[in-house]
A = this chain, B = another copy of it.
Amino acid sequence: MPKSNKTPTINDVARLAGVSKKTVSRVINRSALLSEDTRTKVEAVIAELGYVPNPQARALALRRNFLLGLLHDNPNAQTVLKVQEGVLDAIRDTEFALVVRPVDRHSPTLIEDIRHFLELQRLYGVLILPPISENDALAELCLEMGCGYVRMGSAMLDDADHMVASNDREMVEAAVDHLVELGHRRIALIEGPKGFRSAHERREGFLAAMARHGLVVPDSARAPGTYRFESGLEAAGLLLDASERPTAIFASNDEMASGAFHAARQRNLRVPDDLSIIGFDDSPIAAHIWPPMTTVGWPVREMGRAAALKLIAPAEEVAGESRFPARLVKRQSVAPPKA
């Protein structure tokens, strides 16, 4: 018997099962070349001893850690945390752990920093959140370093094994359809920042739906934003002060939509009576602002879970899914336009 005050090692298992360490190793790693008898016998001893392979030793021998990395540039605290929860759902009761790594997408040494990080930590794989998930050089780096990766984003930027995406474009179309059905014709857009694929997708969805309905979008009905609250406030100000005031605004995310609420209030415009507003993300503020905001919600946690499974259990069914539909969450910031 192994000394009971120490955690058992592969040697203890081998001795008690009467096999070599190598055979125990084969059981741990689910090698196919094993007689059913041997496997059963070894598994019994493993269970009896409560043996768990030491991750540090495996990491050294395999030159690969049992760690998943989360690379992000803090787009939104709530999103990052939900992704973390999703990843945790996937790795619960496995030997994997989650390492987080916030980065600065504007750093000139971004790629080199991450290269060093991957080299040092020898991660099993990384999940990359938008907007840095849109950086192809980063994906190539992972490939080159032999590090698994899955990108999260608003459109399929990579093959299904390396991508988990929402359907932003379609959902914004649906949001515009919703406004048009209620009778809105002058619908304005607050755009996301240049260089963000999600901003691009949402704008294209908006313009496509407007075109489909035969509605024109004058320049005065489009305003740039940065995804930040202040930019939404400013953009909505521009939109609302135009000669042809819109009856509805689609803001490319909830934070900017919140800014639009403020801009409306500053002009004594009531939401939704005088102005309908739709946001995107279904972040907490959408439910907590007054009146509660209609917005597009996407399954962040599920996407995080699926992304992690693609990395650690590609055979599982969920791991095969790459497209995750969002949905329109109807609340009280939308009403028919006043006659």
Contact = CB atoms under 8 A, between A and B. Distances in A.
A285 interface: yes
Interface of A: 7, 52, 54-57, 59-60, 63, 65, 67, 74, 77-78, 80-82, 84-85, 88, 95, 97-102, 117, 119-122, 229, 255, 258-259, 261-262, 265, 284-285, 287-290
A94 B257 CA distance: 40
Nearest to A123: B97
A282 to B, nearest CB: 13
21 contacts: A7-B119, A52-B120, A54-B60, A56-B59, A56-B63, A56-B122, A60-B60, A67-B99, A77-B77, A77-B81, A78-B78, A84-B102, A88-B102, A95-B120, A97-B117, A98-B99, A98-B100, A262-B288, A288-B289, A289-B289, A290-B290
A56 B65 contact: yes
A82 B102 CA distance: 11
Given A98-B100, A100-B100, 17 more contacts: A7-B119, A52-B119, A52-B120, A56-B122, A60-B60, A67-B97, A74-B81, A77-B78, A78-B78, A81-B81, A97-B99, A99-B99, A229-B288, A255-B284, A258-B288, A259-B288, A265-B290
Contact of A57 (B60, B85, B262): B60
Contacts of A65: 56
Contact of A101 (B59, B74, B81, B97): B97
A8 B7 CA distance: 33
Nearest to A92: B113
B52 A56 contact: no
A98 B72 CA distance: 14
Given A100-B84, A289-B289, A56 B67 contact: no
Nearest to A80: B81
A207 to B, nearest CB: 28
B287 A288 contact: no
A266 to B, nearest CB: 9
Contacts of A255: 284, 288
A235 to B, nearest CB: 15
A116 to B, nearest CB: 8
A52 B115 CA distance: 14
A262 B287 contact: no
Nearest to A52: B120
A101 B95 CA distance: 13
A7 B259 CA distance: 51
A121 B102 contact: no
A104 to B, nearest CB: 11
Contacts of A56: 56, 59-60, 63, 65, 122
A250 B117 CA distance: 45
A52 B261 CA distance: 52
A255 B287 CA distance: 11
Contacts of A98: 99-101
A120 B55 contact: yes
